[in-house]
Structures are given as structure tokens and as C-alpha cells.
């Protein structure tokens, strides 16, 4: 951890808790700052705030009082999910108080190298693959996952040494709050349209994603998907060395697939069918990881070992189990249409799809072609149940069932399935209408599967 003096004896506001806020507050306290934490949850229902108070950190809960802006804060560290329209945030900006996210703070103290991964889909899988591959290297130093993957970057940055690498999943929300964050290798897996309710429009969303490369130089690398003209054009904005990856073989300058085989700059790596996790999207994730691993000197046999053995990240097309010929998959992380499309394309067998969740105002006609090709039964729940059912009807699906939530969907899916079918939770929606986050939703689904198969009782 670098010695940082810029926060010593300075007043800093941490806005919003959860994992990132708690770790940011503790780090700033360690750096000698006078930390104030502000969280909207009431104190008696807020164990994080209670712990911070016991650590000697000032805590204000139950709302976001504008009077906080009367204090002479040097910087505001906000939870990534808090929008810039929040009165405290917008007020701080008007007062020219820097507003950053916790990953910027982590980058300031990181001694080792930073690799940043962003994109609409595939961030977590790609981040995990890169980390596993880097840990196949023989030389000193360890690779750590951090960021949006669920591990606060500020906690990892404190333990990573000069020879270590922090592979950081960066959401668009996080990237809006960076200033000096400088990845040696930046990765964009893809950019589709999502979170537009937060960003306002696609242009702002794309700009947020591209901030990952804004501090890079000619000594750095920008790894980007080459299978869209838009993404190829975006690469011209980077000052780093551009390293493309392409499942469609659009470039041989980086990692690519050709005739079912994976290469890096004409070096054969492995056959695509040998990748353990299914789906074309996971071939793309593998190519992005291969590019980074090769740039970092990972031997080919180490790369192959990871791709042949990695069975997937929890909640990302995660294989759960097989029971009486049905394979169960948990893809709770699929919070948009494109994610669900990609998951469906990964299977050749008929799919019983469990979908639904938060209504963000969009409809699901774009999902209809994938539904028509892959889905035999559609089971819907949550705020978007009717909209998804409409898309199912458009796709010509005759068997469409309504249910309460993803747990009640499991036994219903079982009744509608046959041996050889895939039963998959891939909601195409955020979880917040019924669950605190997609992880809880996925865990509830897995528990329901275990209850169905009798595994829960065995444990």
C-alpha cells in the first residue's frame, strides 16, 4: 500500500455504505482523514453504520441532510449506485468538491499493477478468467480480483504488493467517479444499451465506459471487442496500444476465433469447443482473457488449463446440477435482454426459461427471436411478467406460465420439462422489485432447486 498523505487531517464525506462505502470509510480513517459517513438507512437497522461508529468514525443515518454541504469537505466518496442527481452529490459538484467512487481511492494507494475490465456483459467472467490465468505465471506476484465483482477494491489495494496485480471489474457507475485511475491494461468486453435510466441516454453510457482508457498512455494496452464497427471506432479514442479480440475473426492482431479454433496473433491456443463454460459469449470472454494473459506473459498451457477447467462464475450461466435428465442453470446476473439472449444461444437443447423482474419501462420484443429459437416453455414473474409473456406470444411460444417469483417458478418449470431439457433462470431484468440484488435472487433459485431435488434435505 502506497503512503498517501493527501487525506491526513482532511474532512471527507463517504456517501452511502454497502461494501464499498464501509471499506472506503475504514481506509480513509486509517489514512488520517476526519471521516463522516452518511447513509439513508436508519441507524438501528444499519449494522455497518454501528460498526463504523464503534471504530470512532462519525456516522449520520436516516437520510441525506443537505446541511452536510455546509461542512468543509475536501472530497466526497460516493456509493457508485447513487446518481449524480442526488442533492448531496449535485450540491458538492456545485461547490467544486471532488466526487469520486471507491475504486479511485483504491487506485491511489495501489502499489502493484492495475488491470481494469468493463463492458455491458461478461465483465465478471472475464475478470475471473484473467485473474486465474495470471496466477498461472511462474514469476513472483499474485493476481487479485476486485471491484464490481463483489470484492471492494480499497480492501484489495491495501494487501496487494508491488509485484501483485489487481484485476478490477469496473461498472459504468464506478467509472463516472474516477479521476486518475490508470489501468496498464483496460478491457471493454462489449457495449450494449442498459442502465439508460441512470445515465439518461446511450451516449452518456458509452462515455462512462470509455473513461476506463482516459488516463492510458502509449505504454499501456486497450483490449476491445472488434466485432462491432462502433467499438472499433471507439478504440481510436484511446492513446494506448489497441489489442483487438474477435469471435468473428475480424482481426488477427490480437485474440481471435477462426474455424472453431482460438488464436493469439497466429499462435494456436486451443479449440473453442474445449472451453468448459457454454455459449458464444463465453468464447468472447475467453478471447478477451487470452489477450490479457498473453500480454502479461502467461504460458499457453496455463491459459488452456484455466479454460478447460473453469466451470463459471456464480450467477453467470452457473451450472447448478442435473436431475432426472434436466440440467439446471443459474443466470441471475442476466439483468438485461442481451445477457439473456447470449445465455440462450449457449444451449442446443430445449430451454424452460424463468424470467422477470424490475420494470424499467422497456419492452421485450427484441428477445422474441431468441425465445422462438431456444425456449419451449416460458415462466414469468415480477413486474415485467406480462411484458415478457407478450414477447413469448410474439415468439410463438404456446406454453407460458405466470408465477409469484423465481422460487415458485422452479417446481412449475419441473412439471413443464422433460429429460434432456435445460431449466434456466435468466431474468432479463434487474432484481430490485422482489430481491435486494441478483445474488440473493440466484441463491433463492438454487435453494429452490435443492429443495426440488432433495439435495437440501441431504445437507
Can you name the residues that pair with 401 across neighbouring β-strands? Answer: 379
Q: Residue 451 — left, alpha, or beta (φ > 0 → left; ψ -120 to 50 → alpha)?
A: alpha
Q: Give the C-alpha separation, 51 to 422, whole Å.
A: 44
> Taking the chain, what is the end-to-end CA distance rounded to the nearest angstrom?
42
Give the phi and the psi of residue 247 in degrees, each rounded to 5: -75, -25
- Find all residues with CB under 8 Å of 368, minimum gap 6, and list them: 391, 392, 394, 395
Of 217, 197, 215, the closest CA to residue 205 belongs to: 197
120 appears as a binding residue in the annotation: yes
CB distance 225 to 235 below 8 Å: no
3-state secondary structure of 38: strand
- Find all residues with CB under 8 Å of 182, minimum gap 6, and list them: 107, 114, 215, 216, 220
Q: Give the C-alpha separation, 157 to 154, whole Å.
A: 5
384 appears as a binding residue in the annotation: no
Q: Give the C-alpha separation, 141 to 145, whole Å.
A: 14
121 appears as a binding residue in the annotation: yes
122 appears as a binding residue in the annotation: yes
123 appears as a binding residue in the annotation: yes
Q: Give the C-alpha separation, 385 to 356, whole Å.
A: 6
Can you name the residues that pair with 385 across neighbouring β-strands? Answer: none
218 to 184, 214, 222, 243, 448: CA distances (angstroms): 10, 12, 10, 12, 51
- Find all residues with CB under 8 Å of 217, minimum gap 6, and list them: 239, 240
119 appears as a binding residue in the annotation: yes
Query: What residues are designated binding site?
Result: 119-125
Q: Which residues are annotated as a binding site for ATP?
A: 119-125
Amino acid at each position: 500500500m502506497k503512503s498517501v498523505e493527501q487525506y491526513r487531517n482532511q474532512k471527507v464525506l463517504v456517501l452511502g455504505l454497502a461494501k464499498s462505502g464501509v471499506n472506503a470509510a475504514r481506509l480513509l480513517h486509517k489514512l488520517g482523514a476526519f471521516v463522516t459517513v452518511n447513509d439513508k438507512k436508519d441507524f438501528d437497522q444499519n449494522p455497518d453504520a454501528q460498526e463504523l461508529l464503534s471504530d470512532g468514525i462519525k456516522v449520520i443515518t436516516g437520510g441525506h441532510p443537505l446541511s452536510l454541504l455546509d461542512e468543509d469537505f475536501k472530497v466526497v466518496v460516493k456509493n457508485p449506485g447513487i446518481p449524480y442527481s442526488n442533492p448531496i452529490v449535485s450540491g458538492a459538484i456545485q461547490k467544486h468538491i471532488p466526487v469520486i467512487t471507491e475504486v479511485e481511492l483504491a487506485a491511489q494507494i495501489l502499489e502493484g499493477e492495475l488491470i481494469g475490465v468493463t463492458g455491458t456483459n461478461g465483465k465478471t467472467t472475464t475478470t475471473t478468467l484473467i485473474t486465474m490465468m495470471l496466477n498461472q505465471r511462474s514469476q513472483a506476484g499474485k493476481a487479485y480480483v476486485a471491484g464490481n465483482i463483489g470484492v471492494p477494491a480499497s480492501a484489495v489495494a491495501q494487501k496487494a504488493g508491488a509485484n501483485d496485480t489487481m484485476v478490477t471489474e469496473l461498472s459504468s457507475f464506478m467509472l463516472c467517479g474516477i479521476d486518475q485511475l490508470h489501468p496498464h491494461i483496460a478491457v471493454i468486453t462489449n457495449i450494449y444499451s442498459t442502465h439508460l435510466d441512470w445515465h439518461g441516454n446511450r451516449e452518456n453510457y458509452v462515455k462512462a465506459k470509455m473513461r476506463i482508457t482516459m488516463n492510458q498512455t502509449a505504454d499501456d494496452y486497450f483490449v476491445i471487442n472488434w466485432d462491432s464497427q462502433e467499438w472499433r471506432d471507439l478504440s481510436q479514442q484511446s492513446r494506448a496500444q489497441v489489442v483487438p479480440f474477435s469471435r468473428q475473426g475480424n482481426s488477427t492482431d490480437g485474440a481471435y476465433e477462426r474455424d472453431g479454433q482460438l488464436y493469439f496473433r497466429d499462435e494456436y491456443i486451443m479449440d473453442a469447443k474445449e472451453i468448459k463454460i457454454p455459449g458464444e459469449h463465453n468464447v468472447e470472454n475467453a478471447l478477451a482473457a487470452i489477450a490479457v494473459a498473453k500480454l502479461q506473459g502467461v504460458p499457453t498451457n496455463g491459459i488452456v488449463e484455466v479454460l478447460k477447467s473453469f466451470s463459471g462464475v456464480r450467477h453467470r450461466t452457473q451450472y447448478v446440477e442435473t436431475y432426472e435428465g434436466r440440467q439446471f442453470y443459474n443466470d441471475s446476473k442476466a439483468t438485461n435482454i442481451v445477457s439473456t439472449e447470449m445465455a440462450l444461444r449457449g444451449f442446443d437443447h430445449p430451454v424452460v426459461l424463468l424470467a422477470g423482474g424490475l420494470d424499467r419501462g422497456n419492452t421485450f420484443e427484441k428477445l422474441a427471436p431468441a425465445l422462438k429459437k431456444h425456449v419451449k416453455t416460458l415462466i414469468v414473474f415480477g413486474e415485467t411478467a406480462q411484458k415478457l409473456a407478450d414477447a413469448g406470444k410474439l415468439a410463438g411460444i404456446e406454453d407460458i406460465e405466470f408465477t409469484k417469483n423465481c422460487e415458485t417458478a422452479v417446481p412449475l418449470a419441473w412439471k413443464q420439462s422433460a429429460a434432456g431439457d435445460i431449466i434456466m433462470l435468466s431474468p432479463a431484468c434487474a432484481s430490485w422489485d422482489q430481491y435486494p440484488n441478483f445474488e440473493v435472487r440466484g441463491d433463492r433459485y438454487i435453494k429452490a432447486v435443492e429443495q426440488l431435488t432433495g439435495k437440501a434435505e441431504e445437507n
